[in-house]
Amino acid sequence: MITRGRQINLAVAAVLIATAAACQDQDPAGHRRDGQHAPGAARPFTLVATGDVLPHDSVVERAGADAGGGGYDFRPLLAAARPLVSGADLAICHLEGVYGTDAPTTGRPDLTAPPQLAEGLAATGYDSCATASDHSLDDGADGIRRTLGALDRAGVRHAGSARTEGEADHAVLLRAGAARVAHLAYTDGTGGRPLPQGQPWAVRGIDPDRIAADARAARAAGADVVVVSLHWGTAWQDQPDERQLSLGRRLTASRTGGRPDVDLVLGAGAHVPQPFEKVNGTWVVYGTGDQVAGAMTNGAGVQDPRGNQSAAGRFTFVPPARPGGRWTVAKAEFVPQGFDVDAGRVLDLDAALRSGAAVGAARDHIRDVVLSRGAAGDGLVPGK
C-alpha cells in the first residue's frame, strides 16, 4: 500500500503493479492490487493549490519578530490560510527560493530563508510543495540539499528539484482519501544560473515531451490523478502569454489509451493572478500569483499591489464510474487571497472584507482576472 506522502520509484512500481495484476485481492484500504479501486471504496477528495511563497527579507524579519527573538516562526504569517489548506484532503504550495541556515539570510535578489519556513508550511497543512523555479539554484546544489532536507524533516513532500539522480527519477505519490495523486513540477528557467556540474537532473525544466512521459510513468506507478506544477509565464502580465497557452493545450491534449495523461495544471511565476481555464476538458491554472511576498516592484520600477494578490484553487475530484476511468473535477473553485506587507500576514480577502477591511478592489480584480477566459461558463465559482 502506498501511504500518504511516500515517494515510489517509477520503474520499480510499474513492475510491482504489473505483477500484482495477476491477483484480484484487496488491501485494507479497499484498493485492488492491480491499482484499481474496489467497488464502493473510493470517495471524492479536495485538492487545494496556493500561490508562490517568496521569502523576502521583510517576510523573514516578520517571522523573526513573531518568534519573539528566538529563531523564526512562520505560523502566524500563514494562519489565515490554514482553514482552507488544512481543510483539504491534499494541499500543494509553490515554493520559490531555498533554505539557508540559521545565519542571516538574503531576501533579494537571491531568495534564501530559514529552514523554519518548512515547519510553518507543515503546520498550515501543506502536503507537498513545488520546488522548481527561477530561484531553485540561488544557493547552488547546497541550497537544494538544505531545502529538501528541511521539507523532509517537516513532513512536507516536494517535487521539481532533487539531491540525487535517483531522487529525480522518483515520482511523488500522495494519498488523498482513496486516491493516489502524483505531483510533478517543472520550471521554465533557473534565473540564468547553470545547473550544477554533473547534475543535469537537479532542477526539472519544462519540456512537454518529458512532462507527458513522466505523467505516463506516474500513472503506471499507480497514480489515479496526475497534477503538474509549472513555473512559467511573463512577469506582471495578467493574461497568459502564448507559450503558456501553447503548453497548456499540448499538455492537456496528451492522452494514453484515450485517457488524459495530466489531470490538473497549476501555474505560478508571473507574480500576479492569472486566469483559470478548462482546456481539452482539463483545468489549467495559468497563475496563482504570490501568496507570500514583501512589497513588490514591477518591471516599470513601481510598487505594484498585484504582487501581493493570489488566487488559491480548490478542486473536488470524484472517482470514475468504472475501474480504469478518469477521476474528474466535479467542482472547481477559486479563493482570493492577499498579503498584508505591513502586518506580514496572509489574508483571506473575502473574510477580511466581511470584517470591514478595505480590500474590495483587490478581491474584485482577482475575480475579474481569474474569470476572464470564460471559466465561469465551465463551472468555476468563488470558494467559501
Contact 142, 196 (CB under 8 A): no
* pLDDT value, residue 107: 53
- Grid cell, residue 380, equals 468555476
* Burial category of 134 from C-beta neighbours within 10 Å (exposed 0-12, middle 13-18, buried 19 and up): buried
DSSP 2: P
CA distance 310 to 284: 15
* pLDDT by 10s per residue, the chain, length 384: 333 333 334 433 333 333 333 333 333 233 332 333 444 558 999 999 999 999 999 999 999 999 998 899 999 999 999 999 999 999 999 999 899 865 445 555 678 899 999 999 999 999 999 999 999 999 999 999 999 999 999 999 999 999 999 999 988 999 999 999 999 999 999 999 999 999 999 999 999 999 999 999 999 999 999 999 999 999 999 999 999 999 999 999 999 999 999 999 999 999 999 999 999 999 999 999 999 999 999 999 999 999 999 999 999 999 998 888 999 999 999 999 999 999 999 999 999 999 999 999 999 999 999 999 999 999 999 998
* DSSP assignments along 98-166, one per residue: EE--SS----SSS-EE-THHHHHHHHHT--EEE--STTTTTTHHHHHHHHHHHHHHHT-EEESB-SSHH
> Residue by residue, what is the 3-state secondary structure of 178-208?
CEEEEEEEEECCCCCCCCCCCCCCCECECCH
Cβ–Cβ under 8 Å, residues 264 and 227 = yes
Sorted by where each starts, the structural domains of the chain and their CATH numbers stand as 41-382 (3.60.21.10)
